[in-house]
Structure 1
């Protein structure tokens, strides 16, 4: 793409009258004439042009010059018009064969090749058409770049809206349980540790961690008498509590938001067990989506170390041993191994946000 400081036409020629070609075009078209390949490459080292005219006179290796120009990224799509004039037999372009001259010129990267005999009107028309084409391409590329920036901006705004929705829903869960905020933060941190240990990309890990903060959103529909009951739940109460997985899924699954659909999947599957003894669907092994398997480890670990009205929190090492014992039974062994491989990060997270502190 050219700018105000770039010439529209660069003419590379060794002819005695280098100005003859430039006079074929409108006088208002800025031009630069150079008389050797080195000067052409220097002139176009950083600048572009709408059209480069190369005359294949004896003494000028036109194909080599065109190939060298094409190696410059900013000239990769510049229009290059090769003018194969002069005594071809004395030059090095095509040994006097016009068809071969055209083939070699195009293979070298010329946009078009003009062979003798030609008239100046035809040459001028071709040159002006190539200039118009270059400027039209510049306009299209400029519009495409502007459209890309607009799409990226809209996508960024959409992603931020998704994250804001998730943060608001996370607050809703926190209002039901004054310890939920720190619990959800620790679970998300543990999810990040597991995702990293599994070798997932940073983007994948961040998405699963953010979506995991909504794994218990279905508890909004559970009565406080059950949610905060200090003693063991009755069978009907336990059944009611288990419904939070399905409720959370139903709240989120039909959202147009990719992150909310991921959160729905986690809400539905984070109580499934590797051995198939979990709920609500009794999925087994890799039937359980990976985000659900990751969140299961993080959620249970944090539930164990957290103090609740019905139990004291466990020491970290005891909770660690439980995960090791339940690897391959309750939990995906790979997820447990990944979690333990980032144990120092987990300890630092818990120290920063203690499990016995209210949100």
Structure 2
């Protein structure tokens, strides 16, 4: 890092009310190899010059009209969160002046008349520190950008895995995968209607496809049975909710935490007669209540090998009839208020025929 820093490219500002002192400093610095040197004999201009030129080092006199060097240091500290380093260059050799200058923000202090090599070494040291710190900041910014990019890639990979997990369960149930597309988009829409924030709605869109992941653990002779389940078969079928939660357990990401809640609770009912835990009302997470109505509507209006698709009108009738029993009343109201958008989702993602 150090070898790559060109201190001679540093921007210098000389602040001194004596033209002779300014000329001497300019010649000394230029002869040493510095090329970006500015100066002012009016200390009142310093803050504006720093604001527009982003200097790397200020060489500051103390005894000046209008504002002395101490006032300039105070003004820099008040105006800038990180002002450029200041090398005080003054005829004042008393210790109290040196101490005061350092207390109000100067990084170094050289008395006039100065010894050329000492001054250049102090300038070099201050510039090296400043430019090295800038280099570290740029490196950190670059690393942060790379970490952000990598995190985005990992999140996208996670989403791809999540979607494929959801589709794996649907394929076991003779689905094309479009059920989870429709169901997740309807869930997202209802999440917005129920006042969920954009981040939570985005999680819901991506977590809801895993609502039936537990079906992976249900035997084919039960899962694919075309007729009515026997009581013991229905008991096994109901286990898919807990199985799904168990599959998704142990991951602390927001996405999979929500997916677990959905898998576990999307068959609970508002009146407490659902499964697997007989939760009632707001004991059921909002995302579970939302996915319940989205899942039922799409399942009813979709054709399966073991049933015909219901008409939209019949499905809506069932949802209305189950307002306050199976479904949260306010969710049914939100569903009906957004019916046009829900039907558009259904139309835009039809099964291939």
Whether 1:33 aligns to 2:38 is yes
SS of corresponding position for 2:303: coil
- Alignment correspondent of 1:285: 281
Which of 126, 141, 146 is 2:142 aligned to?
146
Residue 134 of structure 1 deviates from its aligned partner by 0.9
SS of corresponding position for 2:19: coil
- CA distance 1:245–1:8, change in 2 (3 Å): same
- Answer with 178-187 or 250-259: which moved more: 250-259
Say how many residue pairs are matched.
339
Residue 55 of structure 1 deviates from its aligned partner by 3.4
Counterpart-to-counterpart distance in 2, 1:13 and 1:270: 76
Residue 48 of structure 1 deviates from its aligned partner by 2.2
Whether 1:11 aligns to 2:22 is no
Residue 40 of structure 1 deviates from its aligned partner by 5.7
- Answer with 168-177 or 133-142: which moved more: 168-177
Taking the TM superposition and a 5 Å limit, the aligned residue runs for 1:188-337 are 188-255=184-251, 258-337=254-333
The structure with the largest helix share of the pair is: 2
Residue 157 of structure 1 deviates from its aligned partner by 1.9
Which of 336, 339, 351 is 1:343 aligned to?
339
Counterpart-to-counterpart distance in 1, 2:165 and 2:238: 20
5+ residue gaps, structure 2, are: none
Over the aligned positions, Cα root-mean-square deviation in angstroms equals 3.7
Aligned 8 A contact 1:212 1:266 in 2: yes
Which of 44, 58, 69 is 2:65 aligned to?
58
Report the TM-score when normalising by structure 2. Answer: 0.79
Counterpart-to-counterpart distance in 1, 2:19 and 2:203: 67
Residue 100 of structure 1 deviates from its aligned partner by 12
Aligned 8 A contact 2:88 2:106 in 1: no
Aligned 8 A contact 1:6 1:47 in 2: no
